Amino acid sequence: MIASGFDITVCVLLCLCALAAVTGRDTFRAIVFFIVYGLLISVAWLRIDAIDVALAEAAIGAGLTGVLLLGAFGQMGSADTMAREPRGAVLIALVAGAGIGAAVLFAVQGLPPEGAGLTAEVLAQLEASGVGNPVTAVLLNFRGYDTLLESIVLLVALIGVWSVASETGWGERPGIVHHARAGGTLQSFGRFLPAIGLVIGAYIVWAGSSGPGGAFQGGTVLAAVAILTILAGLVDAPRVTTRWLRWALVMGPGVFLGVALLGLFGGAFLVFPQAVAYPAIVAIEIVLTASIALTLVLLVLGPPREAPQ
């Protein structure tokens, strides 16, 4: 497909937003540019026919990451100081960044123009995979092992986030204490809430049309909404020591791993016999999605805090 003017405009805007986010003097504005950049890149994903990625990027890339960065900015304030670095550092950074970027550019334009990747193979086995959405087929069946490990990565990051809690904060609720200075930040979230809601709407329409495959990607969107609800003070996050919370966190990866291990009785790992592939994958998808969404929520909320005095 030939690039249209729209494509080029999107790309130019993307680069400009990135430039502003990277070089701007003011950190808050840089983060806002970053969030705009995230929404723009979702548009780019739609243009290259990757709706699943567009959703994930909007919800996670722009939404959750933006929330994280804004929250961090709100709490750091002036504490986020720069280390002193030598004068020539900017110049060297420019050379190194441009050098690596040029190498990548050189590589991209050298790629064969008709590489189709594994599209044909995936479509040929889609029937056997038990799901209708090829992306989900790859995520949960063909390369389900990656997804299993990814869900563990999330858990590890969560444990890591929790582990930097203050000693006195252990066992408390995660997240910023509400009557701390959260107001300014929350207001800016408010502005993006409708945008994200819109994406959710679009998603639901799409998911209905293309089979049961979208729940995984959808879970991430739900997580984004849940976080905003908590941050807005409507719901309290549970304490990190809550038993149900911990079981819910490990339930998804646990069930996935358990089902995968069942295959060992037949001499294989992570297999879904075609007869049960559909129900098995849907079941795993739901549990895994719930766990991943919950993990995402807690990741963004941060370590448990000391109880307000």
Partner 1 sequence: MVHPALLVAPIAAPLLAALLAIAFPRGAVAAALSAVGVALVASLVLVVEVARTGTGAALAIGGWPPPLGIALEADGLSAMFLLAASTIGLGVLVVAQGPFGWTGRETRKGYSFWPLALCLLAALNAIFLSRDFFNFYVGLELLSLSAVALVALDGKREAIEAALRYLMFALVGSLLYLLGAALLYAQYGTLDIGLIAASAETNGPTLVAAGLMTAGLAAKTALFPLHAWLPSAHTGAPAVASAMLSALVPKASFFILVRVWFDALPGQAGPGLTLVLGTMGAVAIVYGSILALLQERLKLIIAYSTVAQLGYLFLVFPLAGGDSTAQPWFAGAWTGGMVHAVSHGLAKAAMFLCAGAMMAAAGGDKLSDVRGIVAKMPLATFAFALAAVTLMGLPPSGGFLAKYLMLTAAFASGAWVWGAVVLAGGLLAALYLYRPLASLFAPADPDRTFTSVPLRTELVPLALALVAVLLGVASQFPYDILQVGRSVAAEAGLE
Partner 2 sequence: MGGDPIIASWLVYGCCGAVLVGLGLFGFMRPTTTLRRVLAFNIVGSGIFLLFGATGYRVPSTGADPVPQALIITGIVVALAATALAVALMLALARVSAGRDEDA
Partner 3 sequence: MTLPGLTHVLLEGPFLPLAALIWPLVLGLLAALPRLRAHVMMALPLAPIPALILALSGAVSGQTRAPDLLLGVALGLDAEGALLLGAIGALWLLAGIHALGYMKRPDRPAVFVGFWCLTLAGNLGVVLAQDVVTFYVAFAAVSLAAYFLVVHEGTDEALAAGKVYIVLAVIGEALLLAGLMVGASSADSLLIADVRAVLGADGWNGLALTAIVLAMGIKAGLVPLHIWLPLAHPAAPTPASAVLSGAIVKAGIIGLLRFVPGDAEVMGWTLVVLGLFGAYGGVIVGLGQKRIKAVLAYSTVSQMGVVIALCGAGVVTGQTALAYSAAALYCAHHALAKGALFLAVGVAHGSSARLIPFVVIATGVVAASVAGAPLAGGAIAKSVIKPAFEGIPLLLVTLSAIGTTALLARFIVMLGRSHSAMSNAEPGLAMAGAWLAASVGALVLPWLVGGAFMANEASYYLAPGALWSSLWPVGVGLAGFALVLKFVRLRIWFAEGDIAPWVVAGARRGAHVIAHRRRLAPPSLPGVSSAPLRRLVSRIEAGLALPVMAGLAMMAMIAAIVLFR
State which of residues 19, 103, 198, 204 lies at the interface with partner 1 (CB under 8 A). Answer: 103
- The residue behind tokens 């804004």 is 70
C-alpha distances (whole Å) from 141 to each of 134, 153, 249 are: 10, 19, 22
In the complex, least distance from residue 161 CB atom to partner 1, rounded to whole angstroms = 8
Q: How many CB atoms lie within 10 A of CB 225?
A: 17
Helices (H), 130-231: 134-136, 144-163, 183-209, 215-231
| Amino acid at position 104, single letter | V
Calculated CA dihedral for residues 189, 190, 194, 200, nearest 10 degrees: 50
List 97, 183, 184, 233, residue binding partner 3 (CB under 8 A): 97
Query: Which of residues 39 and 249 has its CB atom nearest to partner 1 in the complex?
Result: 249
48 binds partner 1 (CB under 8 A): no
**Binding track over 231-270 against partner 1, x by CB under 8 A:** ----------x----xx-xx--xx--x--xx-xx--xxxx
- For residue 228, the minimal CB distance to partner 1 (Å) is 25
Q: Could you say whether residue 22 binds partner 3 (CB under 8 A)?
A: no
Residue 160 binds partner 2 (CB under 8 A): yes
Of 148, 124, 126, nearest in space to 278 by CA: 126
Closest to partner 3 by CB, 96 or 204: 96
Alpha helices in 24-50 (DSSP H): 27-47
Stretch binding partner 3 (CB under 8 A), from 40-48, 96-104, 108-116, 243-251? 96-104
Nearest C-alpha neighbor of 7 from the set 36, 43, 35, 38: 43
Q: Between 96 and 156, name the residue whose CB sits nearer to partner 3.
A: 96
Sign of CA dihedral 281, 205, 5, 22: negative
Applying CB under 8 A, does 248 fall inside the site for partner 2? Answer: no
- Using rule CB under 8 A, residue 108 touches partner 1: yes
Interface with partner 2, residue 185, by CB under 8 A: no
Asked if 81 interacts with partner 2 (CB under 8 A), we say yes
Distance CA 236, CA 190 (A): 18
Pick from 124, 172, 198, 217: which binds partner 2 (CB under 8 A)? Answer: 217
52 CB burial (10 A radius; 0-12, 13-18, 19+): buried
**Toward partner 3, which CB reaches closer, 103 or 198?**
103
Q: Pick the stretch among 77-85, 246-254, 265-273, 283-291 that binds partner 2 (CB under 8 A).
A: 77-85
Do 207 and 214 touch, CB atoms closer than 8 A? yes
Of 28, 87, 38, the C-alpha closest to 60 is: 38
* Nearest Cα residue to 176 out of 28, 303, 80: 303
Binding site for partner 3 (CB under 8 A): 85-86, 89, 92-93, 95-97, 99-100, 103
Query: What residues make contact with partner 1 under the rule CB under 8 A?
Result: 100, 103-104, 106-108, 110-112, 115-118, 121-122, 125, 141-146, 149-150, 152-153, 155-157, 159-160, 162-167, 170-171, 241, 246-247, 249-250, 253-254, 257, 260-261, 263-264, 267-272
